[in-house]
Amino acid sequence: MSAPMISLDSLAPASSMDAMLAKATSGGCSSSSCGSSAKPEDMDTAIWEKIKDHPCYSEEAHHYFARMHVAVAPACNIQCNYCNRKYDCANESRPGVVSEKLTPDQARRKVIAVANEVPQLSVLGIAGPGDACYDWRKTKATFEEVSRDIPDIKLCISTNGLALPDHVDELVEMNVDHVTITINMVDPEIGTKIYPWIFYRNRRYTGLEASRILHERQMLGLEMLTARGILTKINSVMIPGVNDEHLLEVNKWVKERGAFLHNVMPLISDPAHGTHFGLTGQRGPKAMELKALQDKLEGGAKLMRHCRQCRADAVGLLGEDRGQEFTLDQIPDEVAYDPAGRETYREVVARERGDHAAAKQAAVNTVKETEAAGSLLVAVATKGGGRINEHFGHAREFQVYEASPKGIVFVGHRKVEQYCMGGFGEDATLDGVIEALEGIDVVLCAKIGDCPSDSLAAAGIRATDAYGFDYIEAAIGALYAAEFGLELLAESA
Ligand code: CLF
Ligand code: SF4
């Protein structure tokens, strides 16, 4: 199989089309033959136009495009048992203190600075650290200010839904066409185990009444958004023993009300975060428990499986966080938007993703044609661009794909501590990486040494760098065909 050596990640700093194309075509790329559209055949064109550059709403887009969050909305109107207000909103973030809360003008300057430096940027999201709809004045001002300078940036919000119905008309006016609602229950009895109180119409409610109001407002908000053609994503936090099985019911309800995606995220629970669940010993699900629930949900509302539970001030591709490069002290008082980098990047991506789509389709066909009965769980080290382009020891996460007679699908990711620092690997870190790769059959990466490869093998996980820089699905297709009899699997490194 040919292995064109492109990393779109490496294209990012190049500012001209010529420079980006020169990098893209080095190593034997054949991209010029392909069209710019990778639209799935079964998707409506209008919907594809809305999601094709949104890294959360399209799994395919998340290989190419970045989002940034601005932490302009610190106030919240409910209490979730998995949240400590000193930390990011768990609607959209892993627990970790937001570095800086921003005013709308500071947010505007930060977005422009990021857009000038990160050509992958396509979406501006407001995901707290409180609730974007409750802290509405600042959310609205931020969107209005940024849209004036960067009219083509997509606007996206995340909310608990309580205040959402009050702002749907303004969301339409502002052209916000992606809204996430966190819905953890459709049975208020279960809600009492997750929400101790809400604050609604100047009154505090507790117990069953609080959960009933929240539930009704969430359903109303979802129905209003669907009626206006805004794409909705439902986030649900999977809390073992509380709402895990109940999320099957949630999935049915939100599908009936027009949700575009359902994103089931694992509870992150740690006593150090100071949350009710953390302090009372409520555990989060293991990776394979999450996958089992997601597998059960297949066939209902379409699932998002590539969520990274971002911080409320995250910047970059979903698997990375470049927030520390854009703290306020590094941003000038006056900053002007230069669209050249983003425009050029999009042109290069349009060509690259056409090639990627063709390679993916060929690989899926290969897998289906083998008529094998088995499945393979494959963990991939990647820096983006849809390719196997990260060294095993440098990976901070692995993307997980399942190959089976149904095709090749992205089924999740596993976060790990970087194993190799400054040329040396720590055994203890490697043990943690191997633990995180529980259930994985094969690891694909751009490079791996004998030591980690042997340790993985001892744990029953094969690893190879034989497909380095290939498209992910193309490599998995070849691997699957080899596994089930067509060719011998490439030798481990
Ligand atoms: Fe941000 Fe959320 Fe918009 Fe994406 S994140 S507001 S929809 S731009 Fe995305 Fe991050 Fe998951 Fe959220 S990976 S936590 S789903
Ligand atoms: Fe925390 Fe978000 Fe829940 Fe509010 S909605 S309590 S900020 S997790």
Query: Does 92 contact ligand 1 (Cβ within 6 A)?
Result: yes
Ligand 2 atom 5: residue of nearest CA: 160
Query: Does 76 contact ligand 2 (Cβ within 6 A)?
Result: yes
Task: For residue 385, count other CB atoms closer than 10 A to its CB.
Answer: 25
Q: Which atom of ligand 2 is least distant from the CA of 128?
A: 7
143 CA distance to ligand 2 centroid (A)? 21
pLDDT > 90 in the chain, percent: 64
398 CA distance to ligand 2 centroid (A)? 28
374 CA distance to ligand 1 centroid (A)? 33
Ligand 1 atom 4: residue of nearest CA: 56
SS3 sequence of 339-371: CHHHHHHHHHHHHHHHHHHHHHHHHHHHHHHCC
Sorting pLDDT into bands at 50, 70 and 90, what band is 308?
Answer: confident
Query: Does 128 contact ligand 1 (Cβ within 6 A)?
Result: no
> Between the CA atoms of 265, 90, 326 and 272, what dihedral angle is there, to the nearest 10 degrees?
-110
Q: pLDDT tens for residues 414-426? A: 999 998 887 677 7
Sorting pLDDT into bands at 50, 70 and 90, what band is 19?
Answer: low
Which tokens in the block code for residue 356?
């990627």
Q: Is residue 395 a contact partner of residue 384, using CB atoms and an 8 Å limit?
A: no
Q: Which atom of ligand 2 is least distant from the CA of 79?
A: 6
Helix or strand holding residue 146 (H, E):
helix 136-149
Query: Does 310 contact ligand 1 (Cβ within 6 A)?
Result: yes
311 CA distance to ligand 1 centroid (A)? 9
Q: Which atom of ligand 2 is least distant from the CA of 90?
A: 8
Task: For residue 169, count other CB atoms closer than 10 A to its CB.
Answer: 11
Q: What is the pLDDT of residue 485?
A: 65
Q: Is residue 420 a contact partner of residue 393, using CB atoms and an 8 Å limit?
A: yes
The Cα 3–Cα 188 span in angstroms is 53
Mean pLDDT of 114-120: 96
Lowest mean pLDDT among 126-140, 367-381, 457-471: 367-381
Ligand 1 atom 12: residue of nearest CA: 92
Query: Does 128 contact ligand 2 (Cβ within 6 A)?
Result: yes
91 CA distance to ligand 2 centroid (A)? 6
Sorting pLDDT into bands at 50, 70 and 90, what band is 18?
Answer: low
pLDDT beyond 50 at 464: yes
450 CA distance to ligand 1 centroid (A)? 37
The Cα 167–Cα 85 span in angstroms is 23
Q: In degrees rounded to 5, what are phi and psi of residue 91?
A: -55, -40
Query: Does 90 contact ligand 2 (Cβ within 6 A)?
Result: yes
Sorting pLDDT into bands at 50, 70 and 90, what band is 353?
Answer: confident
Q: What is the pLDDT of residue 311?
A: 83
Sorting pLDDT into bands at 50, 70 and 90, what band is 356?
Answer: confident
Q: pLDDT tens for residues 187-221? A: 999 999 999 999 999 999 999 999 999 999 999 99
Nearest ligand by distance to the CA of 74: 2
Q: Which atom of ligand 1 is least distant from the CA of 263?
A: 15
pLDDT beyond 80 at 312: yes
Q: Which atom of ligand 1 is least distant from the CA of 309?
A: 14
Query: Does 56 contact ligand 1 (Cβ within 6 A)?
Result: yes
Ligand 2 atom 6: residue of nearest CA: 79
SS3 sequence of 288-303: HHHHHHHHHHCCCCCE
Lowest mean pLDDT among 17-31, 320-334, 391-405: 17-31
Sorting pLDDT into bands at 50, 70 and 90, what band is 34?
Answer: very low
Q: What is the pLDDT of residue 27?
A: 35
**Residues ≥6 apart with Cβ < 8 Å to 289:** 238, 240, 244
Q: pLDDT tens for residues 61-91? A: 998 999 999 999 989 999 999 998 665 454 4
The Cα 29–Cα 353 span in angstroms is 12
Mean pLDDT of 447-475: 94
Mean pLDDT of 225-232: 96
Which of 53, 67, 182 to mutate for ligand 1's pocket (most ligand atoms within 8 Å of CB)?
67
- Rounded to 10 deg, the angle between the 287-297 and 247-256 helix axes is 40
Ligand 1 atom 7: residue of nearest CA: 56
90 CA distance to ligand 2 centroid (A)? 6
Query: Does 434 contact ligand 1 (Cβ within 6 A)?
Result: no
Nearest ligand by distance to the CA of 315: 1
Q: What is the pLDDT of residue 194?
A: 97
Query: Does 243 contact ligand 2 (Cβ within 6 A)?
Result: no
Nearest ligand by distance to the CA of 80: 2
Query: Does 372 contact ligand 2 (Cβ within 6 A)?
Result: no
**Residues ≥6 apart with Cβ < 8 Å to 430:** 419, 452, 455
